[in-house]
C-alpha cells in the first residue's frame, strides 16, 4: 500500500464516517450543504472493486460476534436508508477491515474510538446503543450483514472507506475521491494508491470482541445537559429539539438519548402491593384471609 499523505495520516482519527467534530463541519444550512456536496465532482473512470469478502467462515466461533457488530453499523447508521444504501454501509466496514489503515476485525473497525471523544461510527460513543433496536429493522440489518460477510458487493461503492450525510460538508470531503451517492449518504475513497483495490490486501484478524461500554457516562452527560438547559427549551415527554451536534442523517435511527422523559422505573412497596391486592379481591366479591383469632359469624 502506498502511504497516505502525512496530513491525511495525521487527521485519520478525525475523518469519521458520521461523527464530526464541530470544527470539522462547514457552517452552512442544509440547502447550501446539498449544493456544496453536489458541486464536489465524482471521480471519473472505472470504479475498482475490492472483491468478495470471505474472511470469516460461518463455522468460526467468532462469526456471530462479527455479524452482530456489522449489523449494528447497518442499523444505527442507515436503518431507514434504501436497502442498497444499507448494503453500502456494510461494505465500507468490510473495506476498512481489509485496509492497513484500520483494524483488521469487524468489531475493531465498528468500535474504533468508542472510548474517545470522537469515534469512527457515532452510535458507539453517543449513547445510541442504549436504545433497543426495532425488531423488524434489526432482522433486516442482520440479514444484510450476513450477505456482506458472504461476499455480496455494491459495485458503485467500490473501494469506499468513508461516507457522510448529505446535509453536512466535512472538511475531508474535498480531499477524498467521491464515488457515489446512495440515499442520503455520499461515499468516498482515499485519493491515489491508498484508494486503489491493490491496497486492500489485509486479512481478517481471526478474533472478534465487543468492548464493554459503560453506559452510565452517557446518563451523566445527559444530566449535565438538562441541568444547563433553559426551561422553555425542552418539554417533558417530547422528542429532544434537533441540534447541530446530532451526528446522524435524518433517516437514521440512532441519535441522542431523549433526556426529557419524566418517567422512571419504580419498584412497588410489597406491603402496599399486598393491601391493594386484597382490596381488589374484596371489591370483586372474593373471600380474603381473616385475621388470626377471629371466626366467621354463622349464617
Q: How far apart are the first and last CA of the chain?
A: 97
Domain presence at residue 174: yes
Domain that holds residue 162: 6-216
Total residues belonging to the chain? 299
Domain presence at residue 224: no
Query: How does pLDDT run across 132-163, given as a tens digit for each residue?
Result: 899 999 999 999 999 999 999 999 999 999 99
Domain presence at residue 249: no
pLDDT at 14: 64
Structural domains of the chain, count? 1
Residue stretches of the chain with pLDDT short of 70: 1-29, 220-299
Task: Please report where in the chains the cell 434504501 appears, as a residue.
Answer: 82
- Reported as type and span, the H/E element at residue 163 is strand 162-165
* CB burial of residue 146 (10 Å; 0-12, 13-18, 19+): middle
CA distance 183 to 191: 23
User: For the stretch 201-218, what's the b/e string if a residue is b when 16 or more beta carbons lie within 10 angstroms of its beta carbon?
Assistant: ebebbeebebeebeeeeb
Domain presence at residue 139: yes
Q: Which three cell numbers stand for residue 66?
A: 462479527
Q: pTM for the complete prediction?
A: 0.69
Domain presence at residue 102: yes
Domain presence at residue 286: no
Can you spell out the DSSP letters for 268-286?
Answer: --HHHHHHHHHHHHHHTT-
pLDDT at 298: 44
- The order of strands in the sheet holding 177-182 is 162-165, 185-189, 177-182
Nearest residue to 130 (alpha-carbon basis) of 282, 254, 6: 254
Q: What are phi and psi of 163, to 5 degrees?
A: -155, 165
Residue 296 DSSP class? P
pLDDT at 170: 87
pLDDT at 224: 46
Task: Look up the CATH number of the domain holding residue 175.
Answer: 1.10.10.2520
* Angle between helix 63-78 and 135-149 (nearest 10): 120
Domain presence at residue 261: no
CA distance 36 to 28: 9
Domain presence at residue 257: no
- Reported as type and span, the H/E element at residue 224 is helix 216-228
pLDDT at 17: 56
pLDDT at 158: 96
Amino acid at each position: 500500500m502506498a502511504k497516505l499523505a502525512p496530513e491525511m495520516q495525521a487527521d485519520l482519527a478525525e475523518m469519521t464516517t458520521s461523527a464530526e467534530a464541530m470544527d470539522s463541519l462547514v457552517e452552512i444550512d442544509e440547502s447550501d450543504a446539498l449544493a456544496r456536496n453536489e458541486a464536489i465532482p465524482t471521480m471519473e473512470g472505472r470504479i475498482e472493486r475490492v472483491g468478495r469478502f470471505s474472511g470469516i467462515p460461518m463455522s468460526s466461533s467468532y462469526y456471530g460476534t462479527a455479524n452482530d457488530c456489522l449489523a449494528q453499523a447497518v442499523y444505527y447508521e442507515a436503518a431507514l436508508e434504501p436497502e442498497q444504501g444499507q448494503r453500502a454501509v456494510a461494505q465500507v466496514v468490510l473495506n476498512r477491515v481489509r485496509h492497513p489503515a484500520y483494524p483488521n476485525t469487524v468489531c475493531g473497525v465498528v468500535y474504533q474510538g468508542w472510548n474517545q471523544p470522537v469515534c469512527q461510527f457515532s452510535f458507539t460513543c453517543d449513547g445510541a446503543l442504549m436504545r433497543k433496536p426495532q425488531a423488524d429493522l434489526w432482522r433486516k440489518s442482520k440479514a444484510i450483514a450476513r450477505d456482506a460477510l458472504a461476499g455480496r458487493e455494491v459495485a458503485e461503492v467500490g473501494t469506499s472507506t468513508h461516507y457522510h450525510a448529505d446535509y453536512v460538508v466535512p472538511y475531508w470531503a474535498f480531499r477524498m475521491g467521491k464515488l457515489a451517492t446512495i440515499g442520503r449518504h455520499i461515499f468516498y475513497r482515499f485519493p491515489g494508491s491508498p484508494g486503489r483495490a491493490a491496497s486492500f490486501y489485509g486479512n481478517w484478524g481471526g478474533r472478534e470482541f465487543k468492548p464493554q461500554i459503560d453506559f452510565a457516562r452517557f446518563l451523566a452527560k445527559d444530566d449535565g445537559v438538562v441541568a444547563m438547559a433553559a426551561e422553555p427549551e425542552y418539554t417533558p415527554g417530547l422528542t429532544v429539539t434537533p441540534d447541530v451536534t446530532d451526528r446522524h442523517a435524518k433517516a437514521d435511527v440512532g441519535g441522542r438519548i431523549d433526556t426529557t422523559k419524566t418517567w422512571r422505573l419504580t419498584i412497588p412497596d410489597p406491603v402496599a402491593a399486598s393491601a391493594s391486592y386484597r382490596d381488589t379481591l374484596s371489591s370483586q366479591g372474593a373471600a380474603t384471609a381473616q385475621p388470626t383469632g377471629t371466626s366467621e359469624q354463622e349464617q
